[in-house]
C-alpha cells in the first residue's frame, strides 16, 4: 500500500574533482583577500592642493601622522571635520584661534599645526552614513565660503580610506578634484593584519561597509 510519503528522485552532486576545484577557488580568494584586502581599502591618491581635510573621528594615535602630512605637503589650511552632539549641534565653522575644549584640535596644535591654519567644522551627529554627512557638511561649507571648486586631500584612518574617498567623490561629483591619504594604525601591522583582532575587525568591517557604500548607499 502506497501512502505517498516518499518518492525516489535523482539529483546532481559534486564529484571529488568538483569539490577539489571549488575548495581551491575559495582558498585562492581567501589568500588574495589576505594579501590585497588591506592595500585595496587603504588606497592612497594624493593630489596637489593647499587644503587638507581631516576626519575628526580618527584615533588619537594617528593624529600625529595627520599633522606630519600637513607639514610634508606644505598645505596652507587644515579643516578638521567633526560631529557634534546636543541640542545646539548645528553645522558651524570655528576658526582655530577661537577653538576651545576640542581634544583633536588640541592634539593637532601640540603637533605643530598653527592656529591660524586650522579650522574645525562641526556638523550634527547622525546614527548612520556618518562619512557621507561629513562630506556633505564639507561641501556645504566650501560652497558657502565660495571655495566649492577648490581641490583638497582627505586624511583618514587606514582601511577606511577607500570608503571615505568614495563618499566624498559621490557627494562632490565633478565639482572638485579630491585626493585621499590613509594613516597607519600602530596597533597592528598592515602587512599582516590578520594576525591581530584589531586588524581583522577593521579590515573585515571596512570591507562590508565599502560594499554597502559602493552598491547599496543612496544619498538622502
Task: Give the C-alpha separation, 216 to 31, whole Å.
Answer: 26
pLDDT for 150-203, tens place per residue?
999 999 999 999 999 999 999 999 999 999 999 999 999 999 999 999 999 999
User: Domains of the chain, with CATH numbers?
Assistant: 43-215 (3.40.50.620)
- Give me the helices (H) in the chain, please: 16-41, 63-72, 103-110, 130-144, 161-172, 197-215
Mean pLDDT of the chain: 93
Cell output for 59: 584615533
pLDDT at 87 over 70: no
How far is C-alpha 154 from the chain's CA centre? Answer: 9
Question: What does the pLDDT read at residue 1?
Answer: 54
The structure's pTM equals 0.89
Task: Give the C-alpha separation, 112 to 196, whole Å.
Answer: 32
Segment holding 119, helix H or strand E: strand 118-124
Question: What does the pLDDT read at residue 88?
Answer: 54
Please report, for residues 38, 162, 188, the alpha-carbon distance to residue 195 in angstroms, rounded to integers and kept in the order given.
13, 22, 8
Nearest Cα to 203, choosing from 217, 213, 193?
A: 193
Amino acid at each position: 500500500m502506497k501512502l505517498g510519503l516518499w518518492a525516489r528522485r535523482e539529483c546532481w552532486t559534486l564529484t571529488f574533482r568538483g569539490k577539489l576545484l571549488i575548495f581551491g577557488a575559495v582558498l585562492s580568494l581567501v589568500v588574495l583577500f589576505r594579501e590585497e584586502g588591506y592595500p585595496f581599502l587603504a588606497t592612497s591618491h594624493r593630489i596637489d592642493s593647499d587644503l587638507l581635510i581631516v576626519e575628526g573621528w580618527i584615533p588619537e594615535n594617528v593624529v600625529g601622522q595627520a599633522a606630519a602630512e600637513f607639514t610634508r605637503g606644505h598645505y596652507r589650511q587644515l579643516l578638521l571635520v567633526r560631529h557634534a552632539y546636543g541640542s545646539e549641534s548645528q553645522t558651524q565653522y570655528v576658526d582655530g584661534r577661537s577653538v576651545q575644549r576640542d581634544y583633536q584640535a588640541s592634539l593637532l596644535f601640540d603637533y605643530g599645526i598653527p592656529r591660524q591654519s586650522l579650522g574645525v567644522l562641526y556638523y550634527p551627529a547622525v546614527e548612520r552614513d556618518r562619512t557621507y554627512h561629513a562630506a556633505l557638511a564639507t561641501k556645504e561649507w566650501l560652497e558657502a565660503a565660495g571655495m566649492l571648486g577648490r581641490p583638497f586631500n582627505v586624511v583618514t584612518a587606514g582601511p577606511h580610506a577607500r570608503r571615505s574617498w568614495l563618499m566624498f567623490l559621490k557627494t562632490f561629483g565633478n565639482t572638485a578634484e579630491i585626493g585621499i591619504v590613509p594613516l597607519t594604525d600602530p596597533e597592528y601591522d598592515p602587512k599582516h593584519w590578520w594576525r591581530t583582532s584589531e586588524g581583522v575587525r577593521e579590515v573585515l568591517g571596512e570591507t562590508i561597509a565599502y560594499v554597502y557604500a559602493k552598491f547599496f548607499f543612496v544619498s538622502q
